[in-house]
Structure 1
Amino acid sequence: MATKTELSPTARESKNAQDVQVDETLIPRKVPSLCSARYGIALVLHFCNFTTIAQNVIMNITMVAMVNSTSPQSQLNDSSEGLPVDSFGGLSKAPKSLPAKAPVYDWSPQIQGIIFGAVGYGGILTMAPSGYLAGRVGTKRVVGISLFATSFLTLCIPPAADFGIVLLIVTRIVQGLSQSSILGGQFAIWEKWGPPQERSRLCSIALSGMLLGCFTAILIGGFISETLGWPFVFYIFGGVGCVCCLLWFVVIYDDPVSYPWISTSEKEYIISSLKQQNGLLSALPFIVAWVIGMVGGYLADFLLTKKFRLITVRKIATILGSLPSSALIVSLPYLNSGYITATALLTLSCGLSTLCQSGIYINVLDIAPRYSSFLMGASRGFSSIAPVIVPTVSGFLLSQDPEFGWRNVFFLLFAVNLLGLLFYLIFGEADVQEWAKERKLTRL
C-alpha cells in the first residue's frame, strides 16, 4: 500500500499550471503609457519647467528695453516716462522697438550685472535644501509654493523696478530662491511615481520643458516688448505661471496611492516596480556642490591677489572642476565595494564640478562684458539641451547593453568633458575681445 498519494500526470500538470499562474501575478505588468497618470505628471512638470525657465530668461531679453542708453548721465535708479531727453533739452530719437509709455532706467553696466546675477545668488542657497525638503513634506507643496512665488514675483518686477533698484534686486534674489526650489525639489516625485525602467523617458518629458521655455521666451519676449512694452513680458509670463500653479495643485499628488484618477492596474504596476530610496542621499550631492562652489570662488580670488594671470586662474578652476569629477564617474563601474563608496564618489564628483563656476562659467564676463547677458542667456539655453539628450542616450545605451550600459554612459560622459576641456585650454582667453570693445565715435 502506498504511504502517500501519488498525483496522476494530469493532476501534476494542473498543479504546475496553477503555480505558474500564481507566480505571474507577482510580476508587475506594464500598463499603457498613453493617457496614464504617470505621464500626465511628467507633462505637468514639463509646463512647470517651461514656466520657470521662461521667467528666468526674460530679464535677458527685456533689459535692452529697460535701460536708457541714450542718457549722458548714469544714475543708480532713475526712470523716465515717455521719450528720453537728449543733452540739449530736446527729445532724442528713441529706438523704434521701445514703446513710448514704457519706463526706462539709467542703470550702469555694473548695476545691470548685479540684477542679472541676483537670481543666481538666491539659487545656490535652496538647490540642496529643496531636494531634502521635498522628500520630507512632498514635492506637491515644495514645488507648488515655489512656482506660485516665482510667478507672483515675476508680476512684481515692473513695479519693483519703478520703486527702486534695491527692491528689484531683492525681488530677483527671492525669485532665484523659488526657481531653484522648483529645479531641485521636483526629482523627489519620481521616487514614488517613476518605475525604474521608465524614469529616463519620464524625466526627459519633464526636463524638456526647460528647453522649450528658453526658446519661447527668446522668440516672443522681444516681440511683446516691442509691441506692448517690456512690462507686459513679465505680466504675461507671470500670469502663465499662476495658471500653471493652479493646474499643479489640482493634478499633482505625491504618490500614486493618493491619486484619485489613477487606474488600479497602473497603481499596482508603479508600486510593485519601485523601491524606497533615501531622500537625504539624493540631496547630499547638492549641499556638497554648494559648499565646494563657494570655496572655489574664494580660492580663485585669492589666486588673483597672488598675481596669477586671469586666464591661468580660469583654466585652473576649469581643470579642477572637469577632470577629477569625470575621472571619478569613470571609476564607478570598476568598484567592487558597496553603495556607500559609490554614493561618496558620486557626491564628490558633483561637488567638484562646481569649481567650473570660477572658471569657464564666468569667462564670458572677461571676454565680452558688454554682451555678457546675451551670451550667458544663449549658453544657458544651449545647455538646457543636455537634460533632454542625456536621459534618452542613457536609456538607449542601457537597453543595448544591460550589463555594461552604465560603463558606456560614464565613458561617453568622460569623453565629452575631456573634449570640452581640451578645447577650452587651447582656445580659452580672458582678454576683452575686439568685437566686444566699445568704440567711441569721433567727430571731424
Structure 2
Amino acid sequence: MQTVSSLAPSAAAIGGVQRPAPVAVCRVWQQHGSSSSRSSSSNSSSPMSASTSFGTSSSRPVNGCSSTCGGGTWVTPSSPIHSRSHAPAALPPAASASQQQHSAHLTGQQQQPRRRRRRGEDAVARATFAANAGDDDALDRSGFVEGITGWRRRWTVVLLCFVAFMLCNMDRVNMSVAILPMSQQYEWSSKTVGLVQSSFFWGYLLTQVLGGIWADRFGGKLVLGIGVLWWSLATALTPVAASLGLPALLVARCLMGIGEGVAMPAMNNMLSKWVPVPERSRSLALVYTGMFVGSILGLGLSPHMIAALGWPSVFYIFGSFGIVWFGVWRVLAASTPRDDPDISKEEKTYILANTSSGSKPRSIPWGKLLSRKEVWAIIVCHFCHNWGVFILLTWMPTYYNQVLGLDIMSSGLFSVLPWVTMSVTANFGGWLADTMVSRGVAVTTVRKVMQSVGFLGPAFFLSQLNHVTSAAGAVACMMGAQGLDAFSQSGLYSNHQDIGPKYAGVLLGLSNTAGVLAGVLGSLATGHILAHGTWSDVWNVAIALYLVGMVIWNLFSTGERIFD
C-alpha cells in the first residue's frame, strides 16, 4: 500500500525553495488484487477507481478530511489520481534516498494508529449525523444487548424510574386500606385516623425543594436511590412503630414522606439529562404511569394480603420491594450519560446533542428563577391542577359511599378504574405530544395544547357529576376527568425541563410544593364545605381552579429554554 506522503519529499529543495513536509496526509492509494493493476516499480502505481474506493462519483474529501487539512486532497473522478494516464511521477531528483526511506518508514509507523483514529472518528461522525437529524435509528451500538435487541441505555433509566414511582404509590396508598384494621386494633378515633393520614404530608412538604437542590447538586442517581431506600425502610418499619405507640407511628410516616418528597424532583433531574427532547413527553408519561399502576396494585392487592396475612404484611412486603430496587439501581443507573461507563459512544453523542448534560450548577439563582413569569405560571398552575387531583384521590371512596350508597369493597373497586384510565391516556398523550414536536410543531404550542386538555377535560366531567344519579354515570365521569387530567404529564409536568434543564429538579420542587399544599388545603376545605354545604359546592371550587389555571397557563407559559 502506498500513500501520497510516500511519494512526496519531506523537505526537498524544489526550485531552490525549501518546502515543509505535510503533517497529515490522506490515504488515496490502494493496491489492486489483479495483476494488471499492480506496479512493479515504486515509481508507478495504479489507484483505485472512484467507484471502487468510495462507491460514488461525487466530489468529497478523502477519508473525511476537509480540503484545508494538512495534506488533505479533494477527490473527484476527474482528479489526476483517479486516472491511469496521470500516474504520479517519481520523486524529484532533489529528494535523497535517505529522505525517501525516512518518509516510507514514517508512513508504515503511522498507518495503524491512523486506521484506529479513523474508525473512532467515523463512529462519532455517524452519531453526530444522527444527533443533528434528531434520530438515533442509525446508531451503531457496541454493547452486546444493544447490538442484539436494539435496546437503548436511556430506556433502562426510564424503566427504573417507572418502577420507583410504582413503588412510591404502592407504599403510599397501602395505609388507606390498612388504616381500617389498624384503627380497630388500636381503638383510634376518627380524629386520630386523620392525624395518621396527614402525617405523611408533613415530611413530604419538607423535601420538595430540597430534593431538587440535592439532585441538581449531587446528581439524580444518588438522591433518588437514597430516597427510595429511605421510604422503603420507613414503610417496612411502620408496624414496629405502630406497636410502640402513636408518636412513633407519626414519626415513621413523616420519615416516609421525607423520602418520597425527593422522588419527583430527582426523577425530573435524571430525565432532563438522559431523555432527548423528541422523546421527553412519552418518557415522562411512562414514568408517571408508574404512579397510576402503583395505586392500582396497592389498592387491589392490599385487601387480599390483609385478609390472608394480616395488616402488617402490606408494609413488610411492599417495603422489601424498594430495597431490592435500590440494589438494581446502584448497578444499572448513572446520573448522566457522561457518568455511565457502559453506554455506547454513539448513544452518548446523540443524547448530549439533544439534552442539557453539562456541569452541575454551583449555586441556585433563586432571584432569577422567581423573577420570571413563566416559573410562576408553572407554580400557580400546579396548585390549581392538584387541588382537583387530591380531592379525587382522597375523597372519591367517600363520595361513592355517601352519595351513591356503595359499600367499602365496591367503592374500592370503582376507585381503581379512573387510575386505569389515567395509565392509558397518559401514555397516549405523551406519544401525541412527541409526535407533534417531531413534526415541527413548536414546543410551546404542544405544552399549551396538552395542558389545556388537562384542565378543560376534568372541569367538564366534574360539572356533569351534579346531574348524575347512577353509579355507572358517576364512575364514567370520574374516569373521564382523571383520564383527560393525565394529559398534564405532557404539559405542566414536562415544562420544567423545557425552560431550565439545569434547574429542572429545583423547578419541580418549587411547583410540587405548591401542588402538595393544594392537596392538604383541598382536603381540609372539602371537609369544611361538606359540613356546611353539598358535593356540588366541592366540585364547583375545583372547576373554578381548573379554569383559572387554564387562563394563566395559556397567557404566561412557554416551551422555550429561558435558563442556561
**TM bin (shorter chain):** 0.5 to 0.7
- CA deviations over 1:109-156 (Å, ceiling 9, x no partner): 111111111112221221222112101111111111111110000111
When residues 111 and 383 of structure 1 are mapped into structure 2, their CA distance, relative to the original with a 3 A threshold, is farther
Give the residue type in structure 2 aligned to 1:403.
Answer: V
Look up the match of 2:441.
Answer: 403
Relative distance call for 1:359 and 1:279 in structure 2 (3 A) is farther
Note if contact 1:127-1:185 (Cα within 8 Å) is conserved in structure 2.
Answer: no
Q: Cα offset for 1:346?
A: 4.0
Distance verdict in 2 for CA 1:202–1:19, change over 3 Å: farther
Higher relative contact order (CA 8 A, sep 6+): 1
| SS in structure 2 of the partner of residue 275 of structure 1 | coil
Percent identical residues? 21
Structure 1 residue 195 and structure 2 residue 233: aligned? no
5+ residue gaps, structure 2: 1-49, 51-56, 67-121, 403-407, 467-525, 536-564
Match of 1:13 among 59, 66, 82: 59
SS at match of 1:150: helix
- Give the aligned partner of residue 12 of structure 2: none
Flag the 1:12–1:423 CA change in 2: closer, same or farther, 3 A.
Answer: closer
1:142 lines up with 2:223 in the alignment: yes
**Superposition RMSD on alpha carbons, in Å?**
4.2
Asked if 2 retains the 8 angstrom alpha-carbon contact of 1:210 and 1:384, the reply is no
1:417 matched to 2:455:
yes
**How do 1:339-378 residues align onto structure 2 when only pairs under 5 Å count?**
344-354=373-383, 361-362=390-391, 368=398
The equivalent of 1:295 in structure 2 is none
Structure 1's unaligned 5+ residue stretches are 1-9, 69-103, 289-338, 436-444
Highest Rg: 1 or 2? 2
Alpha-carbon separation, structure 2, partners of 1:116 and 1:340? 33
* Structure 1 residue 255 displacement after superposition: 1.6
Q: 3-state SS of the aligned residue for 2:356?
A: coil
TM-score with structure 2 setting the length: 0.51
CA distance in 2, matches of 1:271, 1:53: 32
TM-score (normalised: structure 1):
0.64
Describe the SS at the equivalent of 2:188: coil
Tell me if structure 2 keeps the 8 A contact 1:201–1:392.
Answer: yes
Name the CA distance, whole Å, in 2 between partners of 1:227 and 1:52.
23
Map 1:247-396 onto structure 2 (within 5 A).
247-276=328-357, 344-354=373-383, 361-362=390-391, 368=398, 381=419, 385=423, 388-396=427-435
Give the deviation of 1:431 after TM superposition. Answer: 3.2
Task: Measure, in 1, the Cα distance between the counterparts of 2:285 and 2:389.
Answer: 26
- The alpha-carbon distance between structure 1 residues 15 and 419, as it changes in their structure 2 partners (threshold 3 A), is closer
Higher mean C-alpha deviation, range 144-153 or range 23-32: 23-32
Spell out, residue by residue over 1:354-404, the C-alpha distance to the aligned partner (whole angstroms, 9 max, x if none). Answer: 1566678458669949969978975994796475454233213334x5234
- Structure 1 residues 409, 342: CA separation in 2 closer, same or farther (over 3 Å shift)? farther
Distance 2:186 2:419 in 1: 27
Residues matched between the structures, number: 338
Supply the distance in 2 between the matched residues of 1:342 and 1:407 (Cα, whole angstroms). Answer: 23
Structure 2 vs 1, CA of residues 132 and 377 (structure 1 numbering), >3 Å: closer, same or farther? Answer: farther
**What displacement does 1:47 show?**
1.4
Separation in 2 of the partners of 1:344 and 1:278? Answer: 26
More divergent stretch after superposition (389-398 vs 109-118): 389-398
Residue 200 of structure 1 aligns to a residue whose secondary structure is helix
Aligned counterpart, 2:204: 123
Letter matched to residue 396 of structure 1 = T
Find out whether 1:179 has 2:241 as its counterpart.
no
Shift of the 388–129 alpha-carbon distance from structure 1 to 2, 3 Å rule, reads farther
Q: How far did 1:187 drift?
A: 1.1
Partner of 1:62: 178
